[in-house]
Structure 1
């Protein structure tokens, strides 16, 4: 293993392998960082690639006054802010088929589940207020997306990564006083949106396995009463990016009876994990090669306090998304390091 200074010298000389050695240790955690900022796995991947390209192009200007990690986080954070300002993606909130009457209409939110297999559990700094896994949960990421972009960035840098105020200010090109003011507002906004309730059981624990197994068994049988018995009284069912929200036993039961299990439909489930939470993909007829979507469960103690349903992109949306990503890549100058 070459010393970092030697690697940096080689990378500045145009050695792509050396550049890869320099940045590869931070790739996964940077992807998680971009996801927290943007709420989208695909957008996080795009911004990560833009970050690495910008780092490659700006290597000569890196003077080593900060660590390579801090330098990359500065680039990634500002690229995320640019993406949020551009606002290129607008959620499609149109239901494909009529849905039951919701409890209320919320604000449309673009949000995707983050597979646990991609999650890099990093050690936060001493000033962090949230554990890494707590800060990847759906509730936390959803609440983040409701904050103004600069407040969002400030809170992630200070309370998730645990960076000192001075370093966060340098990354965002502002003052320490401005950082402290933005952080105060961001904390208030976040706490107002985070749900209260019992903490979830430990991932993979017997308590979690029992709750998930009971839900899956009831779901595959189409047993709505059995499912409802596993829910908290204030359970919330949401389907990002649609703004429809179903709260409480009655509303959730109607949704599953009328929309999910209507016409005696039954589903096959495949367990997985997303955002540090139990999840599963589901499909009818046992064909999981074309799943209807993903459901992520939020647990509070032994009960399920939230059900978040994500549908796959429709063919038109998927094609437009792919074409947009390819177009953005075509606009990059040649020479970007292979990702």
Structure 2
């Protein structure tokens, strides 16, 4: 299957640069995966499409202020570092710009020496392994010196850093937000609970895969980067109960989807608690074992994310929906509007 089968025309002005003032006022496209029919809504009206006994699964990962601006100790050349994944101790997998300036042994200083990093490894995809040195607690230093790692297609400065976090973010460790969850407020989640909708959480720390474009012509040749996930005993038991009682399992975001599909693939369709690393790649032809529907944002052309959405709703239905979204001037990507696939 060719990657260009998932291409579509997207005017640049439809890429949302800032979040809406009110999270729940974004638009919501409701796509029926069986018929391809489309309805246009406001996000807060998602409650009209969720029934008593349905279960919403959200990713409670918290985005690290993982973008660090520093300088090489020997030349004072400016270096930008993006933390991706903690490996062991104070060693992290990172992306650096410009990468050609950072070789093994290079030392980078941040915040006038409050934090330093030594390059101790070079990865095949061009990333760098950095080992950090600091006084005190690493995450407190990071909160002081780091910036929110907004995707490269967002050019505007984010005035309120909390707007790139979900209101339920708890488990720190992501290099990017699980953006489908950005539309919820605590009040809307409470209202859904009062209506009998079950809310539960998994954790998947969003990593390098979010930043890697598909650079091959054939989908089968693309390699996903692994990301850490965790599913608790409580959540696994709850999901099995929902399944037995006939309720729908609706994931919020591709991260929640990949997590649930990973654990059910390993357990013959049953939800079991666990944690580990997943590099699952879902594209058309995949047989879903865990979910009945998904809430998601509008994704990049030819990305692994639009491929996953197409696996659930059908490529033709999805491309038709995306063309409709362009025509109706929906806002795209991280701070954009949402789609509910039911």
**Length-normalised TM-score, structure 1:** 0.25
Judging by fraction of residues, say which structure has more strand: 2
Q: Rg larger in 1 or in 2? A: 1
Greater relative contact order (CA < 8 Å, ≥ 6 in sequence): 2
